[in-house]
A and B are shown apart, each in its own frame.
Chain A
Amino acid sequence: MPQRMFRSYQGLILLGLCVFFISKAVNGQLTWYINSRFVPLTIIAIVFLAVMAQTIFSENRRSRQHELEHPEHHHEHDHAPSSAALWIMIIPLAIGLLIPARPLDSAAFTTKGFNTSAPLVSSDSSAQIFETESQERNILQWLKLFNYQDDITEFIGQEASVVGFVYFGDELEADQFFVSRFVVSCCAADGFAIAMPVRWEKSNSLEQDAWVVVKGKIQSIDLNDTRTPMIVAESVEPADVPAQPYLFP
């Protein structure tokens, strides 16, 4: 492949990646792939890709002009860089365009597993979660509280309101289901699911992976020999997929 054509393809692929990232940033799907605190890095990458593409195209223009002005110069760079490199770079675009985007859900449970307890990050303290209004706590915070507080009597009977997707686990009874979220530190590759059991008499009217808001009172049960918070639901309403489907530790 002649040098200039190779360059043009490089420029087009860079532009394609740039547009792909922009579209993900605009429709809010970047956080389906990475933790929101890395979004600024992706924005920087978008600018970078655009500058690189522009550099390539202007370099090509320059070289064409150079050839017109000095036709006697034979172009020395006419060797062909392998085009395999170009094809591979198209793969992310192809996957992104052909497979409809979908955040991690219960389909990933079989390989990624799920937890009903969660570790505390050193930069957050249980005191902080403690002070959070009970209805403001998310699934992760409830699990942390039950992990790290010795005395949980205070939480029993508190009002909870959490958002998550439905998962039916084998370890539960017929009138129960899990409300779950994925926790992502870096990107979807490290995502792990956490889940809180819910008791609701109409549990079997729900569908797996449906997003719901669960409101009810907290109770403590033993699940796999671990003290686990359970919501005795007063209402379970369908919900939209949150702008950030994952929780961040």
Chain B
Amino acid sequence: MMPAGSATWLWDKLNVFATVFLGIFVEAVPYLLLGTFASGLVEVFIDRDGMSRWVSHRPAAAAISGAFMGMIFPVCECGVVPLTRRLFKKGLPLSAGISFLLAAPVLNPIVILSTASAFGWGQMLLWRFVVSLIIAVVVGLVFSVQGEPDEVLLPVLSGGDHDHVHAGAGDSIGGKIRKALLITVDEFFDMGRYLIIGSLLAAGLQTFIAQSTLLSIGSGPVLSVLVMLLLAVLLSICSTVDSFVALGFTGAFSFGSVLSFLVFGPMVDIKSTIMYLQVFKRRAVAYIILIPFMISLIAGLVFNYFVK
């Protein structure tokens, strides 16, 4: 028998850590594959500057159309990062890409259905949609003053850019699919490692920081919103299912606080932040995190103070 105490404690913790980590990883892999495969298909089937012909270059119009592109590319926060980078390569205007990046994890058919099945076709769904749209468009407009995507994107070091696809892949449909699959592999490895680092971090924090302490300090109209925002980052769960998790908080937390969780979580969490940092320059990442944070906070406060 092992002496009871620290050794068993550590072993128990390690087991919880492994289960939570594999939980996030197993859950995220299909979505990451979907996003990277979409990126591969975009690369081979949309020609250079294809996107720039379809999307308006006026900043407001671009930001709004970018926000609704999630309806066509139903990706969540893991898949959206490589796909956005690829769409930039195809001439997508900066403001459209940024608002796509932030909005797609919420404004897509899958997430709308899952939110509705948790909360019903009502206020929560409506405001989640509206506030996410506002944030995406605002951040998109902020970025439109930057001009070109190259000014906020990091140069691509491996994988994505020089696709290691051998000459002679051919222009047949089969050849194109094969090329798309090779790009999928490269991007899966490129983004997958950041998904893994992010999941390790999230699982570690969850294993050692008590959620109950966090929830117990979270009373009051201001603190409760802050706690929900922090929890959204900490939990790092996929936007397709976070409504069911949020539902668990509705007893203890107000409408505004839960709404801020549902709006901010899909835009910013540990794994998506690490993925952003590989694609965008640091200053851009700061804007991508801080503006949604501010607006989610304000939205939560407005609901807590002024609505019922």
Contacts and interface: CB of A to CB of B under 8 A. Distances in A.
B15 A99 contact: yes
Contacts of A107: 12-13, 15-16
Interface in A199-249: 249
B119 A122 contact: yes
A27 interface: no
Interface in A63-119: 63, 66, 77, 81-82, 84-86, 88-89, 91-92, 95-96, 99-104, 107-108, 110-113, 117-119
Interface in B1-33: 12-16, 18-27, 29-31, 33
B15 A85 contact: no
A188 B245 contact: no
| Chain B interface residue number, banded | 35 or more
B211 A186 contact: no
Contact of A122 (B33, B117, B181, B207): B117
A185 B117 CA distance: 12
A30 B26 CA distance: 8
Contacts of A103: 19
A121 B117 contact: yes
A108 B203 CA distance: 12
Interface of B: 12-16, 18-27, 29-31, 33, 37, 117-120, 158-159, 164-166, 168, 178, 181-182, 184-185, 188-190, 192-193, 196-197, 200, 202-203, 206-212, 215, 235-238, 240-242, 244-245, 247-248, 250-251
A149 interface: no
A189 B185 contact: no
Interface of A: 3, 7, 10, 13-14, 17, 21, 24, 30, 32-35, 38, 41-42, 44-45, 48-49, 51-52, 55-56, 59, 62-63, 66, 77, 81-82, 84-86, 88-89, 91-92, 95-96, 99-104, 107-108, 110-113, 117-119, 121-123, 183-192, 249
Contacts of A89: 189, 192-193, 196
B242 A81 contact: no
B158 A189 contact: no
Contacts of A82: 158
A190 B24 CA distance: 9
6 contacts: A45-B33, A52-B185, A92-B21, A101-B19, A102-B18, A189-B202
Contacts of A118: 248
Nearest to A183: B248
Contact of A48 (B37, B178, B189, B240): B37
A77 B164 contact: yes
Among A21, A35, A99, A123, the most chain B Cβ lie within 10 Å of the Cβ of: A99
